[in-house]
Amino acid sequence: MARDGDGPLIMEPGRRGAGELPPELGEALRSGEFHQALRLAIAHRGLSLARLRAHLALRGVHIGQSTLSYWQRGLRQPEVPKALPAVRALESVLQLPADSLVVLIGPRTARPRGHQAAASFHDLRSGEMGAIVEQLMSDLGAPPTSRQSNSDLEMLSVHDQITIDEQKHQVKFRTRLVTRARRHGPDRYVAVYNGDPGCRIDDVELITAEGCRVGRIRRHPARETMATELLFDRKLAEGEIHVFCFEIHDNSAVTFPGYYRMLRDQCASYLLQLQFAPTAMPARITREVRARDDALPVEAEELPCDTGGVTSGYFRDTGPGLAGIAVEWN
């Protein structure tokens, strides 16, 4: 341990602190501005700018104290991509999650055409979609404690398989989840399906395969959204592993733009596979990780497609944020 001047004890850089970040800092990292998150993180760790600069220098990053001051006051913004090594070093020194500051810099853009989230199972989020989901879950009679993104279930592994036909339309969506009960009592999972623009949500059908059965269903046609109870028919014990699987059939005849799964918490293993018709192969397939819809990807790589028309995107220890595959057609 080291002491920063007369301030509180802080951990040496490179060693992660225990416990969660303060709520205000966590919220700033999720939806705030870079300077706000940086200022709160520096204050949380009890570092002076001079001390912070010294820690950065130990990592081979040399940056002026005045520049750090400008950044935390919002007078300047780190330049992308030139400043990425410095921002990543800040995350390390300040003991923040990887890429939590990186995603707050650079231009914020609406997702480019062809990269919009396809029909997806959303966790419960803030904003307009969160309000709609809250309404749907309230209609299902879910108690307030169960409306926080199925928080009693830890996602250990998620496997999504999507089939796209010769007309470039999604014809089947199958998902299998491996979960662990964080505490005694969870007996259901609420899946929220958000269709593409033009989706006929009243015609969307959910079919269970194993480990669950369909309970009540509520739909919001104006936002192409559907909330479905998946019932386990028993209460899980704390630490118990539960696997369940289901399919979505959506025949809305919308050109498939790609798919992103929204993850509220970190997921240890996520596999997304797309099955294309041999006569309708896309021009480009890109694996991407985004902090949110309006942020640039923090990870992006082109994916191959095998001879059977299958492409696979694997994500390890990813989230919170969006993980998925963008599809571009000729």
Look up the domain containing 6 and give its range. Answer: 2-104
Residue pair 249/172 in contact (Cβ under 8 Å)? The answer is yes
Cα 214 → chain centroid: 25
Residue 114 lies in a domain: no
302: CB partners within 8 A, 6+ apart: 284, 285, 286, 287
In the chain, what percentage of residues exceed pLDDT 70? 79
pLDDT tier, 287 (very low <50, low <70, confident <90, very high otherwise): very high
> Which of the four pLDDT bands, split at 50, 70 and 90, describes residue 220?
confident
Q: What is the CATH number of the domain that holds 300?
A: 2.60.40
Average pLDDT, the chain: 80
Sign of dihedral through CA atoms 266, 228, 224, 173?
A: positive
> Total structural domains in the chain?
2
In degrees and rounded to multiples of 5, residue 269 shows phi and psi of -150, 120
pLDDT of 139: 62
Best CA proximity match to 205, nearest among 154, 160, 251: 251
Residue 90 has pLDDT above 50, yes or no: yes
Note the pTM of the prediction, 2 decimals: 0.61
pLDDT surpassing 60 at residue 217? yes
- 33 has pLDDT over 60: yes
Domain final residue pick, 73, 104, 135: 104
What's the CATH number where 59 sits? 1.10.260
One domain, residues 22 and 163: no
